[in-house]
Amino acid sequence: MKKITKKKIENLLPVYFIMGSNNCQSEPTLVLQQAIKGGITLFQFREKGTGALTGNEKIKFAEQLQNICRINNIPFIVNDDVDLALALDADGIHIGQDDESAEQVRQKIGNNKILGVSTHNLEEVKKAIAEGADYVGIGPIYSTTTKEDAKTAQGTALIQEVRSNNIEIPIVGIGGITVKNASPVIEHGGNGVAVISEISLAEDPGENAMKLNKVVKSFLK
Ligand code: 3NM
């Protein structure tokens, strides 16, 4: 099977919503439904950090969210947990630098699932591409309190560096991105924004998803 086309991946990245149970103050299934109604384009299940569900509870919760995504035609990506992604037949997997190598993960999942890799410098971006990543996450763009071990914010410097090296991998910016500060990510060469709290903790998740969709699409060429 051939890899998913770059164009298809680019079309999924504009508003990439990431969430786990501990990112929400209200019922997560409702938050996801509202986010989808508002206009998210891709969803990542990221059950990590303090109080995260484990074992069967984690699986059941993932299934609930995957079901909502399926009904609404939003691809469902699993963070880190390759076994879970395979067991659920998820649409893809997103890994960091501390996880298994992208090469190993690509071998396990085959070519028709999406593979995303978090990167923090040009070497990591090049390696991810060589090992079969479909897109890279670049962050943190702005400072964030959502990820306990996040690195120092770097603005859009790396996105610009990647593009000035004529590297065309689809890029999603992540970290501290809000409706108000999203546009530079796209102006400087990103294909979308990945957010947790701007949607998961919003008073109205649907409204913020809608506003993010609007601002990102207005800056995409
Ligand atoms: N990864 P929020 S920053 C999950 O820099 C994650 O790779 C990051 O949450 C990275 O949108 C981050 O609430 C947290 O800032 C994003």
**pLDDT (tens digit, 0 to 9) for every residue of the chain, 221 residues total?**
678 999 999 999 999 999 999 999 999 999 999 999 999 999 999 999 999 999 999 999 999 999 999 999 999 999 999 999 999 999 999 999 987 999 999 999 999 999 999 999 999 999 999 999 999 999 999 999 999 888 999 999 999 999 999 999 999 999 999 999 999 999 999 999 999 999 999 999 999 999 999 999 999 97
Asked whether residue 215 is domain-assigned, the answer is: yes
pLDDT of residue 119: 97
Query: Which letter does DSSP use for residue 88 in this model?
Result: T
Sequence-ordered list of residues with C-beta below 8 angstroms from that of 63, at least 6 positions apart, any chain = 88
pLDDT of residue 5: 96
Tell me the CA distances in angstroms from 45 to 29, 42, 80, 87, 107, one per residue in order.
12, 10, 9, 14, 21
Asked whether residue 48 is domain-assigned, the answer is: yes
Asked whether residue 49 is domain-assigned, the answer is: yes
Query: Known binder of ligand: residue 144?
Result: yes
Asked whether residue 152 is domain-assigned, the answer is: yes
Domain extent at residue 189 = 6-219
| Ligand 1, pocket residues at CB < 6 Å | 18, 118, 137, 139-140, 144, 146-147, 150, 174-177, 195-198
Q: Tell me, what CATH number does 203's domain have?
A: 3.20.20.70
- Domain count of the fold of the chain: 1
pLDDT of residue 77: 98
Query: Known binder of ligand: residue 43?
Result: no
Asked whether residue 1 is domain-assigned, the answer is: no
Tell me the CA distances in angstroms from 177 to 71, 100, 154, 180, 186, one per residue in order.
27, 27, 12, 8, 12
Q: Which two tokens stand for residue 93?
A: 């997997």
Asked if 218 is an active-site residue, the reply is no
Q: Work out the angle between the directed axes of helices 122-130 and 157-164 (0-180°, nearest 10).
A: 60
